[in-house]
Chain A
Amino acid sequence: MDDAVAEHNSPLRILIADDSDSDRLILKTLLKRLGHEVLDVSNGLDAVSVFQQEAPDLVLLDALMPVMDGMEAARQIKFLAGERLVPLIFLTSLSEAGALARCLEAGGDDFLGKPYNRIIIEAKIKAFNRMRLMHQTLSDQRDLIRERNRQLTEEQEIAKRVFDNVAHSGCLDAANIRYHASPQSIFNGDVLFASPRPAGGMLIFMGDFTGHGLPAAIGAMPVAEIFYGMANKGFNGQDVLREINQKLKRILPTGMFCCGAMIEADFKLNQVQVWNGGLPDGWLIRSSGAYLALQSRHLPLGILSPDQFNADFERVATGPDDRVLMMTDGFLESADRAGNVFGEQGVTETLERLDVGDHPFDAMMFAVHRFTGNFEDGDDLTLCSLEMMDEAGLAALPDRAAPSALAGPAEWRCTYEIRERTLGEFSPLPLLLHICMEVPGLRRKSGEIYTLLAELYNNALEHGVLELPSEWKRSPEGFGRYYAERNRRLANVEGHYIRFTLHHSLKPDGGRLRVVCEDSGRGFDFQNHPSVAPGSSPAESGHYAGRGLLLLKRLAETIRFHESGNHVEIVYDWRLTRTAGDRDE
């Protein structure tokens, strides 16, 4: 405030142009007495050149002057001033209205009549100085806003680079995934992650944070870390969701949360599991063209405390070429010029019109762009489709972490047993995988190790402890019954256990991992099992589903059953690769 007052009273640099020497002398003296600095010239041409050199704050111009008159000088001075407001007052004894109007049209801001009146001159100069300072303040503030905006954009670019490193696109480029996300989608609060699972299948997470800009992007960082970290270690969608929810609940301020959906696709079992908390309906689109809504049945992430959070997935059996389609609110909110939104109606109409040969992703993108009339990238919508397919077609998934140069434990043995209630609540697989991954040579084999452990564990749990018949899973009705029964029986596992014993030792050129899995079930007749004893009839009853056992046989050196069939021992050998290009497979 003090500064502003000081500036209002500070001396100005004033340019006077008048061809009358006596008039100029009077005006110059008057202004000097008021404390201003005065530059004076006697024609328009000199006025323009002094203006250019000295950049005065205010100009007083006689209208009629030799060489260049005041009108022309006014035009040139206003042009030179550009964005700067330099008040320009005509000195004139003109009284004809038309002549006065021409002065203003040429860029003049006011007139000063003759004879000069010092009170009026002082008042006018003060008034125009106020206007000049106000203009200056506005210009400065505009420049400040412009600069802040530039800074913000630059910060966002840096943040985006960091985010892109944390939230790399995972396996979004896999052949069975199609997606659209604007390059700046992170600042709309949209995230999309996809990761292959060590045992096969994929996890996809789509999220939509409340808010825009950096606050929305900041929440996305830990979600990306959790998602990729846990998915790589073999955690399932439920575990990842629980962790994300707990983390967001802890770090996000009240009122900020993340609508999200997790899709866990299992290409072997041909099923998808879906959890939708607050995103628009997802859709399962069958290869036949039939479709099914995957509705939001949960609150968004980051709202409920861990004990209230429900991470139950919906399980849907699928067929080859079935597709899952997920989208964020931005997709439904895409608007045309009149402000009408695409909405759920736009989505369902597109699905209804879908021909068998159409890819729902293309159809949906085309429909929304035709609706908005905008084919540019400037949208803020996120759409993703996942196609169910044979895992063999996904051979080109990116390699996981490169082998570490650090030496890890080579000779070790451990036993881990989970018991009773915990059988239904906790999967020991990520922990066991983590222990194995401490051996540098095994790290590149995480997929195979996970598959071995998962097959052993699932067989021990579902067929050994729970005694569920695997053939149920072969029909759609049995599929539902199987999982209902699984949940029922998990509530009743007193006295039961599953025990893993892992034993690793080095061999020349590699190492050997011996895994023993024992369970408390009654076992099965492995002597007569079709896969164990080739040549016998392919009866499908028994402890091991044929496929699982074949998988174990393919990956392991040896597989042996002991006791009543509830004690399985496998031996897995690995060899050092000599050169980077010399892959085992």
Chain B
Amino acid sequence: MAKDTAPRWDRRMQQRLARGEAAALGELYDRFAALVHSQAHRMLDDEDAADLVTREVFAQVWENPEAYDPKQGSMRSWVARLTHRRSVQRLRHAAASRYETEHGEGAVPDPEELERRVRSATSAARADYIVSSMPVPLREALELAYIHRRDYRQTAADLGVTEDEARRRLRLGLQLLSTASARPLEGSAPPGYGRVR
């Protein structure tokens, strides 16, 4: 949303964190904890692991607030990238240790299979992020059509817009969402999280 990607809020938050303001960390948590936790949960499908990633991400932000570069995008997208990176690490680690448990010490899971899992988890988490960041009119239209199972004419009526507009919103929303499955380059942030370094 425009108001929370406002660069002013981001820069001020960064300064306050750098200054060591505990209250700023609390505010950062209040704003982003649900994002971080649900992204991690979507990636890892495990409550404890998501808790752990949440702790790691906030610790990383708190210890290195200067690592945030406002020119690279909003603080929100930065936090989402950190979350993604931590979750991928944890996913790989968990898969490797589970495989070792099942197949004996030193056994390594099929790297391709692992990459597939990382990719599909990434797409799922990125899609969540995209839906949460898309303009509200698009999100509302998708919600009506997908969750409430309204056809586009009913969607138009519910939203008080023309049928043209309802069709346009559904198509645009899905177009945005479809960028979630774009295959990320190795080691870089996926496009859904803002500009790639």
Whether chain B is bound by chain A comes out as no
Residues of A within 8 A of B (CB): none
Residues of B within 8 A of A (CB): none
